[in-house]
Amino acid sequence: MPNLSGIFRKSKKTEKKKKVKVETKGVYGKTYLKAMPLRDLSDLDTVKGEVSSGNILILRVTPLANKSIEDVKRAVNELCEFVESVGGDIARLGEERVVICPSNVRIWREKTPVSNEPIPTAA
């Protein structure tokens, strides 16, 4: 399994991106949680369509990573830009999966402690 840890680093672009409005009928209908493999860059259109429809996707990137890590980087960058433009959210779930949410859903991220003290663990 290729190492995918460096793919989600934020770029240091200083330019502001334009937000793209997604045509929706007021409130989304039912929201579905869908899982699918990302096998090819052409699958990105399907992913974008699902997120634009208000669905949450869990993408398994391993099939594409087995073909080309560069394609995975390209796909993740394109999805990050798309999600930012529609006001959605994207996060990595381990080494093999990515979750993508529409604008009405936020991904909770645990804040790391600031102090240098060790974090207590259960005995």
All domains of the chain in start order, with CATH? 33-101 (3.30.110.150)
- What pLDDT is stored for residue 8 in this prediction? 64
The pLDDT, as a whole number, for residue 6 is 67
Question: What tokens were used for 50?
Answer: 């699902």
What are the tens digits of pLDDT across the range 70-121?
Answer: 999 999 999 999 999 999 999 999 999 999 999 999 999 888 766 666 666 6
Report the predicted TM-score, pTM, of the whole model to 2 decimal places. 0.69
Does the CA dihedral 47-55-34-2 come out positive or negative?
A: positive
pLDDT digit string (tens) for 24-41? 444 557 899 999 999 999
Residue 5, pLDDT > 80, answer no
Q: What is the CA radius of gyration of the chain?
A: 16
Q: The tokens of 70 are what?
A: 């560069």
